[in-house]
Chain A
Amino acid sequence: MIPPHGGKLVDRVLSGKERENALLKAKELFKIKINLELIRDIENIAKGVFSPLEGFLCKEDFNSVLNHMRLSNDLPWTIPIVFDVPMEIANKLKEGQEIALVNSKEEPVAILHLEEKYTYDKEEYARKVFQTTDVKHPGVAKIKAMNDVLLGGKIDLIKQTPSPFERYNLSPLETRVLFKEKGWKTIVGFQTRNTPHIGHEYVQKTALTFTDGIFVNPVIGKKKKGDFKDEVILKAYEELIKNYYLKERAVMSILQTEMRYAGPREAIFHAIVRKNFGCTHFIIGRDHAGVGNFYPPYAAQDIFSEFPDLGIVPLFFKSFFYCKKCNSVENEKTCPHPPSEHINFSGTKIRELIIKGETPPPELMRPEVAKIIMSYENPFVE
């Protein structure tokens, strides 16, 4: 089986006596309240989704990720996983100290072993990761709103926060055992934050033709206004898989993390995460993890040439479309007819139809999938 990124699946989930001791200790520690997005990052670190990270980035790694898209040990890593706090809180903390991270109910979620606290340049952070400092970019806007000090250090997870979609919440250890149990040697990962249209299905099935199984892995978490709600995405995929996939060839579980909309850098990050889940291949389509017109359409594919040591094979796809002349789903490498004969699987177009209350036609979307989406009064994030 493919090794996790960095060679070892990180496990920093405390259990048994260790957990009991940590719970007792947490009562006496300095406490910092954290939000759900940060809790999910901590869970992803602790369960090995973000292997080899064992905590939040310290300064050397942070700078290395910004400047070289690699950790300081040269391992590919493109998105900073950081914990920001206001200066007045940072001033109360000493490096070497342990801190209890608590949820909105003041319950301890994790212990942070503070190794380093440091300031950073928000403009540089935004420019390097998102290739822009335009606040219209949601990632840039988020950085601008961040606190001024970053805390770095390993974490230990004390309490897991149940997901609203627990049935689909598998750790990398669990997906790896699942793939082994299914006898899959080659697994292609598919990242999504959308309900599936026919174009997605063709991409997935084309990749599946050359691999043993497909791992559909929707991103569940904070998204931008107008994106499909998490519940709608999962229900839509349930219908697609139930009706149009072989049970022994497709599995779905969720990735609980926010979308960063970092385009090419996020494509590498997404590939690393799927490698940790045990995927050997990863699908990269047009404008992967993009937003608006911030990235060239295939920048997220081009960036892979800089990472020969990623350890997962990217599968690049151009967009599929329906060709009226061919009377089938094609792509630009397979269809000789002009664009006037093509119907594009445009997410925007499908969205417009749904907003108008019109069911997307079967050339664009499977009727079962469309029915599920149309059953929601508002399937979009407000």
Chain B
Amino acid sequence: MEEKEFKEVLIPTTLYKKIEEKIKGTEFSSVSSYVTKILREVLSKEDEKKEVFSKEDEEKVKERLKALGYID
């Protein structure tokens, strides 16, 4: 199986130990897997407010939605 590449990140030892304690007996096999999960979660929340269509797109689409009976 192809291995994923990894890079090192430094965190304070006290924080590391705290996480080590926290993940005992959980699904996390290592501090790294826990930190990876948290970082992915945080990073995924950054794009949430972007609008993905223009006013012009919106008006065009509304016509079709009206024709199909989705909106009045």
Query: Is the CB of A123 closer than 8 A to any CB of chain B?
Result: no
How far does the alpha carbon of A1 sit from the alpha carbon of B43 in the complex, in Å? 17
Residue of B with least CB distance to A4:
B52
B3-43 vs A, CB cutoff 8 Å, 1 = contact: the mask equals: 01000000000000000000000010000000001101101
Known: A3-B47, A174-B61, A177-B61. A309 touches B40 (CB 8 A): yes
Complex: how many Å from CA A3 to CA B48? Answer: 6
CB–CB B70/A309 < 8 A: no
By a CB distance below 8 angstroms, the chain A residues around B37 are 308
Interface membership of A8, Cβ < 8 A: yes
Please measure, in the bound complex, the distance between the C-alpha atom of A173 and the C-alpha atom of B53, giving whole angstroms.
7
Out of A64, A67, A308, which one reaches B40, CB within 8 Å? A308
Enumerate chain B residues within 8 angstroms of A181, measured Cβ to Cβ.
62, 65, 71
With beta carbons under 8 angstroms apart, the residue of A7, A68, A174, A182 that contacts B64 is: A174
B27 x A305 contact (CB < 8 A): yes
Q: B70: which of A1, A176, A178 is its contact (CB, 8 Å)?
A: A178
Chain A neighbourhood of B2, CB < 8 A:
63-64, 67
Q: Say yes or no: B50 contacts A3, CB within 8 Å.
A: yes
Give the chain B neighbours of A174 by CB distance below 8 A. 61, 64-65
Does A310 reach chain B (CB closer than 8 Å)? yes
| A67 and B40 alpha carbons, distance in the complex (Å) | 18
Contact (A1, B58) CB under 8 Å given A63-B2, A308-B40, A311-B44: no
Count A/B pairs, Cβ under 8 Å.
62
Find chain B residues with CB under 8 A from A305 CB.
27
B62/A3 in contact, CB under 8 A: no
Once the chains are docked, how many angstroms separate the CA of A308 from the CA of B2? 23
Minimum CB–CB distance for A21 against chain B, Å: 22
Q: What is the size, in residues, of chain A's interface with B at 8 Å between Cβ atoms?
A: 28
Contacting B at CB under 8 A, from A174-208, are 174, 176-178, 180-182
The docked-state distance in angstroms from the alpha carbon of A15 to that of B2 is 40
CB of A251 within 8 A of CB of B43, answer no
Chain B residues positioned under 8 Å from A105 (CB to CB) = none
Least Cβ–Cβ distance between A97 and chain B, in angstroms: 27
B53/A2 in contact, CB under 8 A: no
Q: Given contacts A181-B62, A308-B38, A308-B44, is CB(A251)–CB(B52) below 8 Å?
A: no
- Determine whether A17 belongs to the interface, using a CB cutoff of 8 Å to chain B: no
Q: Are B71 and A308 in contact (CB under 8 A)?
A: no
A167 at interface by CB-CB < 8 Å:
yes
A3/B52 contact (C-beta < 8 A), A174-B65, A177-B61, A311-B44 known: yes
Q: How far is the CB of A332 from chain B (nearest CB, A)?
A: 23
Q: Which single residue of chain B is at the shortest CB-CB distance from A251?
A: B70
A177 and B53 contact, CB distance less than 8 A: yes
Asked whether, in the complex, the Cβ of B65 is within 8 Å of the Cβ of A178, the reply is yes
Chain B residues near A311 (CB-CB < 8 A): 44
A9 within 8 A of B: yes
| Contact residues, A303-360 vs B (CB, 8 A) | 305, 308-311
**Known: A63-B2, A67-B2. Is A176-B44 also a contact (CB below 8 A)?**
no
Closest B residue by C-beta to A174: B61
CB B50 to nearest CB in A, in angstroms, measures 5
Q: Which residues of B contact A251 (CB under 8 A)?
A: 70
Query: Contacts A3-B47, A308-B44, A311-B44; is A173 near B1 (CB within 8 Å)?
Result: no
Residues on B with C-beta less than 8 A from A180 are: 58
Bound Cα distance from A311 to B41, whole angstroms: 8
**What A residues does B44 contact at CB under 8 A?**
308-311
The reply to whether A1 and B52 contact each other, CB–CB distance below 8 Å, is yes
Q: Select from chain B the residue with minimum beta-carbon distance to A302.
A: B27
CA distance A8 to B43 in the complex (A): 16
Q: How far is the CA of A364 from the CA of B56 in the complex (A)?
A: 46
Q: How far is the CB of B46 from chain A (nearest CB, A)?
A: 9
**What are 10 A-B interface contacts by the 8 Å CB criterion?**
A1-B51, A8-B52, A67-B2, A68-B4, A173-B57, A177-B53, A177-B62, A178-B65, A178-B70, A305-B27
